[in-house]
Amino acid sequence: MEGLHHDTIVDGEEDDSPAKEQNVPVEEERVGDVRSEDFSEKQINRSLTPEERVNLYEQMARIRRFEERSLRSYQQGHIGGFLHLYIGQEAVAVGAVSVMGEDDHVITAYRDHGHALAVGMDMDECMAELYGKKTGCSKGKGGSMHFFAPDKNFWGGHGIVGGQTPLGLGIAYALKFNKKAGSCLCFMGDGATNQGPFYESLNLASLWNLPVVYIIENNGYSMGTAEARHSAGEPLARRGDMFDIDWSVSHGHDVYEVRHTINDALERAHNESRPSVLEIVTYRYRGHSVADPDQTYRSKEEIEEYKKSKDPINLYKEKLIAEGYLTEESALEIDRLAKEEADASAEFAQASPLPDPTELMDDIYWETDNPANKTSQGTMFFETP
């Protein structure tokens, strides 16, 4: 249970870490416990219409089914390279994106399918990208780790751990420079908190009062290294403290809690132009990438325990049913539609054409893509198809 220690007291072990301060959820919990605080009573959630509540469920179900379908396609050999699945973490992206306003932007790391679908990217273009097809969101040039949709304020999809943290800062900087009351939600994993550029970014975010929200999706493992073996000084979000940045730790299996947490940070960004560091404790069910062995660093039981007690989709479904917004039947129907949509996206991807080798040379420079407006001279490329 090493990977869940940030959320758990292992039997017989006293947790006396200095980290337990006011920002940390008060109660300690064991895997399997359910928290008592009800975030559905928070204003940001009370104001949800029934349709919006059900939509949150739909979005999470769509991401789950998309990821499962892509896993199947990977296993069938249709998808190459790496496939970092978001299964288990769905409430984080869906909850966060659901409270964004029109000038709020998103950037994330390589586990990006969930965020992409949450901001409204189409399953077809995402699946086609995984298949390396011309119809993919990046025309087959980005792949799983590099989805982008600037028209939906989604700036990727970045493959290098922590490499997006200064970019998120720059997005926030540009918003402030242009006098927009917006912010940038910069997602990252727990592993990224040990990269240097993250700290440089925190310093600048605070020094320059930039509206950036760093969201550490702490799934307990940086690839196969459990948090206890990769990070000193818990909780991770406390690292914001040394730069006078407001920070908190919250749970990622409750979409209402995610909404409440993110909304607080957005208000801080919008109203005070101040950054936040939010650690959201979550869990991934699959390996770091699906090709990675999953049993070297955690047990099957650990995964099963989380699925059983904290699956964000099941918990939310139960809540919606209890609240009367959903029935078992309508939940099944939503799930069936999500599955159908995912299957259809795989069919679309399968039927789509592959990019032609001549397309290798497109999209490199703005200038070579816009020859009519070319200002440079000379040779730009030294080997072409």
Partner 1 sequence: MATITYREALNQALSEEIERDDKVVLMGEEVAQFKGSYKVSEGMLEKFGSDRIIDTPISEAAFSGLAVGAAMMGMRPVVEFMFWSFCYVAFDQIFNNAANVRYMSGGLINVPIVFRGPANGGTNVGATHSHTPENFAANTPGIKVICPATPADAKGMLKSAIRDNDPVCVMENTILYNLQGEVPEENDFIIPLGKANVVREGSDLSIIAHGKSVHTALEVAQTLDETNKVSAEVVDLRSIRPLDTETILSSVRKTNRVLLVEENKPFCGVDAQIAFLIQDQAFDYLDAPIKRVSAIDAPQAYSKSLENAQIPNHDRVLRKAMELI
Chain residues in the site for partner 1 (CB under 8 A): 107, 136-142, 146, 148-151, 155-160, 163, 165-175, 177-178, 184, 196-197, 200-201, 203-204, 207, 362-367, 369-370, 375-382
Residues 121, 149 contacting (CB under 8 angstroms): yes
Residue with tokens 């089914």: 65
Nearer to partner 1, 159 or 224 (CB): 159
159 Cβ neighbours under 8 A, 6+ residues apart? 109, 110, 145, 146
Closest distance of CB 152 from partner 1, Å: 11
Strand ranges in 109-182 using DSSP code E only, listed in sequence order: 154-157
Nearer to partner 1, 39 or 155 (CB): 155
Structure tokens at 183: 């912010």
Nearer to partner 1, 299 or 370 (CB): 370
Closest distance of CB 156 from partner 1, Å: 7
Alpha-carbon distance values, 241 to 57, 237, 278 (Å): 34, 8, 11
Closest distance of CB 215 from partner 1, Å: 16
| Residue 213 host element (H or E) | strand 212-218
Task: Say which DSSP state 10 is in.
Answer: P
Structure tokens at 74: 């990977």
Residues 318, 345 contacting (CB under 8 angstroms): no
Q: What number of other Cβ atoms are within 10 A of residue 163's Cβ?
A: 16
CA dihedral of residues 155, 156, 160, 162 (deg, nearest 10): 50
Closest distance of CB 340 from partner 1, Å: 27
Nearer to partner 1, 17 or 177 (CB): 177
Closest distance of CB 248 from partner 1, Å: 23
Nearer to partner 1, 323 or 362 (CB): 362
Residue 164 CA to residue 160 CA, distance in Å, equals 8
Nearer to partner 1, 23 or 144 (CB): 144
Closest distance of CB 107 from partner 1, Å: 8
Closest distance of CB 169 from partner 1, Å: 5
β-bridge pairing 183-189 and 212-218: parallel
Nearer to partner 1, 321 or 361 (CB): 361
178 Cβ neighbours under 8 A, 6+ residues apart? none
